[in-house]
């Protein structure tokens, strides 16, 4: 079965809500989802790195803190240099999501960090694939998909309130769609890899 790892950090739980939705979208597509939480910057990242290594695709998620991914997530990226040295994640599919308080909040910078991180490992980036809203900003309700209109990955917005009510339903649904998109892409990618020897033989 195709396996998608969802590696995320969440200091206060809002990004975690999205990680769970990404995993749900993966499972609904018939793939296995591995929900892997980064607890803190000082943890032993070895087991987590191994879980990623044995997955077909990875969705990286981090809150935007001070205009970039959180320090705990950055610690994970630096720990992954161990795998970088062997090219162990090369050619896997990767995607990303972030979440912050402001509509912009410089979330694009955090998504860019995730995409560059994937590129350094030789991974293939899968973008969000959910169109930006065509309605006016005033018409964007909590149920609007891709509410802030990002393309590189999911950029969600959470208020300073309970995770029971924020991020809103539209952002949660967009996270689910990202999980579905990555799982389906990974299934196609795996099928293509197994088909390659047949094409060469013919
Ligand atoms: C240290 C710190 C830095 C933050 N920096 C930003 C920021 O640059 N832009 C922004 O919009 N929100 C910023 N926020 C707000 C968080 O992104 C927001 O509360 C988010 O929902 C937290 O996600 P989490 O609950 O998964 O930790 C910051 C919060 C903290 C604690």
Ligand 1 center–CA 183 separation, angstroms? 28
Pocket of ligand 1 (CB under 6 A): 10-15, 63-67, 99-102, 105-106, 158
Threshold 0.85, pTM exceeds = yes
pLDDT higher than 90, residue 192? no
Query: Ligand 1 pocket test: which of 73, 101, 111, 162 has the largest number of ligand atoms within 8 Å of its C-beta?
Result: 101
Residue 130 Cα to chain centre, angstroms? 14
Taking only the tens place, the pLDDT of each residue in 109-120 is 999 999 999 999
At 60, give phi and psi (nearest 5°).
-95, 135
With residue 27 as reference, give the H or E element that holds it.
Answer: helix 14-28
Question: pLDDT class for 178, splitting at 50, 70, 90?
Answer: very high
Please tell me the predicted confidence (pLDDT) of residue 98: 99
Write down the architecture of domain 3-201 according to CATH: 3-Layer(aba) Sandwich (3.40)
Q: Cα of 63 to ligand 1 centre, how many Å?
A: 6
Domain boundaries, the chain: 3-201
3-state secondary structure 149-185: CCCCCEEEECCCCCCCCCCCHHHHHHHHHHHHHHHHH
Q: Which is the closest atom of ligand 1 to the Cα of 64?
A: 17
Model confidence pLDDT, tens digit, residues 23-58: 999 999 999 999 999 999 999 999 999 999 999 999
- CA 172 to ligand 1 centroid distance, Å: 17
């Amino acid at each position: 079965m195709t396996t998608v790892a969802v590696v995320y950090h969440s200091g206060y739980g809002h990004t975690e809500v999205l990680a769970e939705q990404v995993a749900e979208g993966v499972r609904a597509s018939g793939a296995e989802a591995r929900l892997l939480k980064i607890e803190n910057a000082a943890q032993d990242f070895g087991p987590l790195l191994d879980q990623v290594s044995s997955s077909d695709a990875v969705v990286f998620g981090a809150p935007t803190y001070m205009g970039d991914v959180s320090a705990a997530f950055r610690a994970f990226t630096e720990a992954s240099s161990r795998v970088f040295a062997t090219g162990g994640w090369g050619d896997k599919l990767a995607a990303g999501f972030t979440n912050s308080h402001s509509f912009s909040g410089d979330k694009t910078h955090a998504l860019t960090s995730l995409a560059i991180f994937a590129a350094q490992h030789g991974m293939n980036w899968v973008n969000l694939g959910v169109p930006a809203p065509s309605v006016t900003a005033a018409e964007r309700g909590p149920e609007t998909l891709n509410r802030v209109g990002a393309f590189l990955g999911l950029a969600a917005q959470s208020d300073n309130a309970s995770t029971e009510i924020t991020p809103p339903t539209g952002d949660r649904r967009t996270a689910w769609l990202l999980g579905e998109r990555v799982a389906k892409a990974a299934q196609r990618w795996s099928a293509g890899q197994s088909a390659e020897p047949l094409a060469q033989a013919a």
